[in-house]
Amino acid sequence: MLERTPAERELACSFTQGSTRFNVRGLQIDHHRDRSVTMTYRLDIEQPNRPEEQWEVALPWGDTSFVDVLTSPAPEPGRLDMLASLVRSLLGEWWETKGYERQAAKMGRRL
C-alpha cells in the first residue's frame, strides 16, 4: 500500500463547519488522465439534536492548479491550507444543498 501524501493526510482529517461535524472515516483520491481528481469521502455527519448520518460523497475536482499540492511529498504549507479549506467548504456546501440542488444530490449517497 502506498504511503499517503501530506495533502491526502490533511484532506482525510475530520472537521467542524458551524454546528456540523464531518467525521472522515475514509478518503480515496483517484487521479485521472486529464489531471483532474475525484475525492471520494466516507463521512459520519453529526449535528446537534439529530441522529448521526453516514454518507459517501464523490467530489469531482477539475482544478489542475492543485495537482502539485496533491502529489508533492512536501507541498507549500499555504497552498496545502488553501486546498484543505476549499475542499472542506465544498463538502459543507454539498451538505447544505443536497436536499434541493440536483447536482449536489448526485454527488452523495446515504449509507
Count of domains in the chain?
A: 1
The full length of the chain comes to: 111
Strands 53-61, 37-46: parallel, antiparallel or unpaired by DSSP? Answer: antiparallel
- Min mean pLDDT across 23-27, 28-32, 87-91, 98-102 is at 98-102
Instruction: Examine residue 14 and state whether it is found in any structural domain, yes or no.
Output: yes
In this prediction the pTM is: 0.91
Q: Which three cell numbers stand for residue 71?
A: 502529489
Instruction: Examine residue 1 and state whether it is found in any structural domain, yes or no.
Output: no
Give every CB contact of residue 86 below 8 A, 6+ residues apart in sequence.
none
- Residue-number span of the structural domain to which 48 is assigned: 6-110
Q: What is the mean pLDDT of residues 69-95?
A: 95
